[in-house]
Amino acid sequence: MADDLPDGVLIRRVAQGDEAAFVGLYRRHSPAIYGVLRRLVGADQAAATDLLQDTWIRAAPRLASFRGEAQFRTWLIGIAINCAREWRRVGRREQARTLVEDRVSAPNVHGTDVERVLAGLPLAFREILVLHDIEGYTHDEIARLLRVEPGTSKSRLSRAREMFRRRWMRPAGVQHD
């Protein structure tokens, strides 16, 4: 079982394409990395979760070149810190609080209201909002899922958020953008 093996063995197995070994590493180290990220980003759980995924996305292709000069968890935390620094630098703390997330989590808003507005969006915009703002996928993951460039994912998200805002704020019954 992967849980019983040392990191070095799992890393070698991951380099050979063993998905179970990757899952073992992920399960073993994600709680600690998430804890560090939560402390770095404050109470923003969604950002910490996104940054955890960004950390693994950046680490995965580099696992084969991990030389063991530091403990594996230390190496991962270094990647996580760099992700958090980048997040802060580009101002994602404010951007992560999208209207969609606020409306979904607001206690006085029914999920059906959000669903109604989402259902009215063109499919490309609805997909990006759901994948990024609700499900928490990164732009790189979305690009792979939707077979588009990460830049396309980012621009669609911006347009989708604006379209959602306009439709959300519109009085009931008004249908034009």
41: CATH: 1.10.1740.10
Kindly state whether residues 81 and 8 are assigned to the same domain.
yes
The CA distance from 177 to 172, in Å, is 13
pLDDT tens per residue, range 106-155? 444 445 667 778 778 887 888 788 778 876 778 988 888 788 999 999 99
Kindly state whether residues 74 and 142 are assigned to the same domain.
no
Question: Which secondary-structure segment (H or E) carries 96?
Answer: none
Kindly state whether residues 81 and 104 are assigned to the same domain.
no
Q: For the chain, which residues score pLDDT lower than 50?
A: 92-99, 103-104, 106-110
Cβ(145)–Cβ(132) below 8 Å: no
Q: Which residue in 7, 166, 20 sits closest to 100, CA to CA?
A: 166
Boundary of a domain, candidates 93, 109, 135? 93
Burial 20-50 (b: 16+ CB within 10 A, else e): ebbebbbebbeeebbebbbebbeebebbbeb
Question: Cα dihedral angle (28, 33, 36, 37), rounded to 10 degrees?
Answer: -140
176 within domain boundaries: no
Burial 54-83 (b: 16+ CB within 10 A, else e): bbbeebeeebeebeeeeebeebbbebbbeb
Cβ(28)–Cβ(14) below 8 Å: no
The CA distance from 167 to 177, in Å, is 7
pLDDT at 173: 54
pLDDT at 52: 93
Cβ(141)–Cβ(94) below 8 Å: no
The CA distance from 164 to 122, in Å, is 10
The CA distance from 23 to 51, in Å, is 18
Q: Which two tokens stand for residue 169?
A: 């704020």
Boundary of a domain, candidates 93, 122, 150? 93
The number of folded domains in the chain is 2
pLDDT at 70: 75
Kindly state whether residues 48 and 74 are assigned to the same domain.
yes
pLDDT at 78: 83
Kindly state whether residues 105 and 70 are assigned to the same domain.
no
DSSP string, 71-104: -HHHHHHHHHHHHHHHHHHTTHHHHTS-HHHHHH
Boundary of a domain, candidates 93, 128, 158? 93
62 within domain boundaries: yes
123: CATH: 1.10.10.10
